[in-house]
Structure 1
Amino acid sequence: MTFKRISFISSHDGDILSMDYSHRGSMLASASRDRCVHMFTDDYIPSNTIADHSAAVTAVKFANRDYEFRLMSCGTDKCLCFCEVMNNSGKTDISREQHYVEKHSMGDMAIVERLCLHDQPAFRGSGCSHFRPQLSLNLCICRQLHIWADI
């Protein structure tokens, strides 16, 4: 197998620390030390820039839920941002849904699309159903896993 570079995009003013493709590969998001998240179409054309962080953005992930499209990012500014991504007549619009500040910087995250939570002690009595989509796991510098669930 031989790989060949098909595109080169100069987009950030700092090192790129994370990137993620949307569920069907229709969008690409990249996160950088320049405090920005850039989004690109499936043709690698820049579509949006999100500047919600005040320090390096260490991770960016897409998540889908019931026809909703979300983008999550975290960084060394101790912030966790949740944005809704909407496609309106070929134009991509971004709206910030939630913005949390933690005590420690966050290094990485993973999105679990289907997870059984009802047997977990932390979720008993929380009103969550048997299967819930989008569980964001955030690895922090403080040597702890911070778990965010879409309950």
Structure 2
Amino acid sequence: MKLQLKRLLALIIDLVVTGGLVSIFYFCANVFYLDSATTTQAELMLICAVITIGMLTVALPASKGYTVGECIAGIRVENIDGTARTIPQIFMRECVLRFAFGPLLLVLSIVYWLVFGMLLHGDPDIRPIHDEFLHTRTVPAR
């Protein structure tokens, strides 16, 4: 399977897993907020949602080197020089760029891929904007 398809598969899996778990916590928090006696439980559910995001998007890639989606797709992200990513790089890529700016970044990446990858260079395997910004690359898992 081409690397771009594996990247897309990993993105979809990560969004479904993380988004699904966070949605469960958020739903439970809303149910607990219905009764003023269970407000503390609602706040704990929201804290659990934040911890889940941190564990799946920062702690797992920092310790294992890949997210759940990257593991299933058989890819991993590394620095251009082949070294492991730093915690700030992982946080910026997985939390800020993927979840905070996900839809905008996806559109910009498609335009960047079409204009620079296909039209100007004729290379469909050009690195996306966020990889250029963070000096990382996606490679098949070893």
Instruction: Answer yes or no: same fold by TM over 0.5.
Output: no
TM-score normalised by structure 2 residue count = 0.28
Q: Over alpha carbons, which structure has the higher Rg?
A: 2
Return the structure number with greater relative CO, CA threshold 8 A, min gap 6.
Answer: 2
Higher relative strand content: 1
Higher relative helix content: 2
